[in-house]
Amino acid sequence: MRYKNRQKIINHDGGNMDIKTLFMILATALPTVAEASTILVNDPALSSGYTVSTYNNPSPTFPELLVIGVYETRSDHSYNYHPQGTATVNIVNQGAAPLTLVLSSYEPTLWNLNIASGVNISEIILNGYSDQQISGVSGITVTNRSGPGNYFSACAYAWPSSTGGCDTPGLISGVEAYTGLTLTAFSGVYRATDFTVTTSPVPLPPAILLFASGLVGLLGLRRKKK
């Protein structure tokens, strides 16, 4: 008599359960959707009449694509005077889901990043009409697309449409095409200098598969020993 070459494990009641069934049980028993990373604007210039625009993808995919957009980070510039402003981005680690971060400003800005240990950033993209610079980054790819003829759009701070000569759709479509990713979250305002990004947990489906694969390997090793 021939027997099918099929791995099985034993239930507590002595019955058989094949590996496919085990995968189905794991996928059903454990949650399969991780919360996406979030962007908070800590100091929007609301007193000047500006409002914050946000977008959060209801069905986020991984790796994530996060975009922060402002027009300016200081208010004392004029037609022939464009001093560099500063912006602080605090990145809080609540999970190591991979992400790409886009930082965009029309006026020249130095982006100071405070990145918590364990945060998984694949790339940081700088965008804007004027020169953008960055500090607080080590071991992360930084792509500078600022300056005339180099930016995806001159500025983008309002969702979902273009405002005041800025082109949010142009920035989003540009970075999506460049990275091959789908936008996860956008947060923008005309003027702000302080932001907090809270990262997402690692997506659970790969974690489930990793656990199940390890279990399959252990079962196979046990069969060989027998």
Segment 103-161, tens digit of pLDDT: 999 999 999 999 999 999 999 999 999 999 999 999 999 999 999 999 999 999 999 99
Confidence category of residue 211, pLDDT binned at 50, 70, 90 = low
Least confident stretch, 2-6, 56-60, 100-104, 190-194: 2-6
Is pLDDT of 203 > 70?
no
Check residues 43 and 4 and name the one with the higher pLDDT.
43
Average pLDDT over residues 35-60: 96
Q: What pLDDT, on the 0 to 100 scale, is given for residue 4?
A: 46
Report how far residue 151's alpha carbon sits from residue 168's, in angstroms, rounded to the nearest whole number. Answer: 12
Instruction: Give tens-digit pLDDT for 20-39.
Output: 565 555 555 444 446 899 99
Who's near 87: CB < 8 A, 6+ residues apart? 70, 73, 103, 105, 109, 110, 111, 112, 192, 193, 194, 195
Q: What pLDDT, on the 0 to 100 scale, is given for residue 129?
A: 98
Q: What pLDDT, on the 0 to 100 scale, is given for residue 32?
A: 41
Is pLDDT of 175 > 90?
yes
Q: What pLDDT, on the 0 to 100 scale, is given for residue 131?
A: 97
Place of tokens 């886009």: 102
